[in-house]
Amino acid sequence: MAIRTKFTEVFGVEHPIAQGGMQWVGRAELVAAVANAGALGFITALTQPTPADLANEIAKTRDLTDKPFGVNLTILPSINPPPYDEYRQVIVDSGIKIVETAGSNPAPHLPMFHDNGIKVLHKCTSVRHAVKAQSLGVDGISIDGFECAGHPGEDDVPGLVLIPAAANQIEIPMIASGGFGDARGLVAALALGADGINMGTRFMCTVESCIHQNVKEAIVAGDERGTELIFRPLRNTARVASNTVSREVVQILNDGGQFEDVKDLVAGVRGRKVFDDGDLDAGIWTVGTVMGLINDIPTCGELVSRIVTEAEELITNRLAGMVEVKAGSVA
């Protein structure tokens, strides 16, 4: 048995499951393990310090899998922007065929990707941005609900409404993102009109994810209330783990502080220390509310096969078993 959707067909992947870009986490070992499990993994371009490092990471991933995988290009407004054009060139030159864009309008990058036969999956957090991306010609949408790790946007619409609202207007393949971690989520997403799911936090807590074991164990121990929304007053909200640092950031900004006042607390180097050294209070680290559904640290292969097998079982037995065929009606 297999679950076939518009997403699996268009993106040429076995299962309707993706692993979205994750800063510091989306590296070769994880992406290759996801690919080998039959799902679609994305290397996070900007985790690599230079475009040349990205080329090496892509080559390293190819050594670990012969299945398709993609690259995430997160485009964020910044005072000193990374050399996006050079990262994009590396993606093209490396023969990558799928890119996940996120963060802002993908328009400037689309012609080059499409001219080189690259499919673009655009991740966004609102129906209006999904509709806009569809009109620009992207090949798929990943619609990220309020539950998600990272940037949920400012509209605060959870997946239960966001996914069907987007499905009403999206005709290209669309996967649902934010809060997914198991078969129940996959089946729910399909029922809500999506063609699959994208998971960040769940893949972060697997054997092949290269972060410190302490972080994985904290995710297993944590529950669905274990996150904070930082940068709310700055309208650049990010969902991160609740710890002494994130709570301080929330407090300072709620008291009228500005970005300058929290800049050192939220520095990327501090967040990276969490993942590298396992010191959970060293800085800000990204995680989603789905933490409340995560109780183990499986391999990516175990995780994907469990989700797909249980989803098939849910659809064919539990849900099908609820449908009562009345006597005299045509089954």
Ligand X SMILES: Cc1cc2nc3c(=O)[nH]c(=O)nc-3n(C[C@H](O)[C@H](O)[C@H](O)COP(=O)(O)O)c2cc1C
CB 219 within 8 A of CB 280: no
Per CB under 6 A, 144 contacts ligand X: yes
List C-alpha distances in Å: 270 to 264, 276, 306: 9, 10, 35
Tell which positions 208-267 bind ligand X, by CB under 6 A. none
What is d(CA 286, CA 28) in angstroms, rounded to the nearest whole number?
Answer: 19
| DSSP run (H or E) holding 119 | strand 119-124
Token match 């680290």: residue?
Answer: 285
**Residue of the chain from 6, 10, 23, 257 that contacts ligand X (CB under 6 A):** 23
The residue (of 57 and 144) whose beta carbon lies closer to ligand X is: 144
Q: Is 41 in the site for ligand X (CB under 6 A)?
A: no
Instruction: Give the relative orientation of helices 28-36 and 51-64 as an angle to the nearest 10 degrees.
Output: 40
Given 102, 124, 166, 190, the residue binding ligand X (CB under 6 A)? 102
Give me the residues paired with residue 227 across strands: 241
Q: Segment contacting ligand X (CB under 6 A): 31-39, 146-154, 297-305, 323-331? A: 146-154
Q: How many residues bind ligand X (CB under 6 A)?
A: 29
Find the angle CA(236)-CA(241)-CA(245) to the nearest 5 degrees.
Answer: 80
Closest among 112, 26, 38 to 71, alpha carbons compared? 26
Answer for which of 21, 153, 159, 185 binds ligand X (CB under 6 A) is 21
Which pairing describes strands 70-74 and 17-19: parallel, antiparallel, or unpaired? unpaired
Identify the residue among 25, 31, 170, 205 touching ligand X (CB under 6 A): 25
148-207 positions binding ligand X, by CB under 6 A:
148-150, 177-180, 198-202, 204
Residue 229 pairs with which residues in a beta bridge?
Answer: 239
290 binds ligand X (CB under 6 A): yes
What is the sign, positive or negative, of the torsion defined by CA atoms of 157, 163, 165, 170? positive
Stretch that binds ligand X, among 52-60, 87-95, 144-152, 227-235 (CB under 6 A): 144-152
Residues 291-320 that bind ligand X (CB under 6 A): none
Identify which of residues 8 and 289 has a Cβ nearer to ligand X in the complex. Answer: 289
Residues binding ligand X (CB under 6 A) = 20-23, 25, 44, 72, 74, 102, 123, 144, 147-150, 177-180, 198-202, 204, 286-288, 290
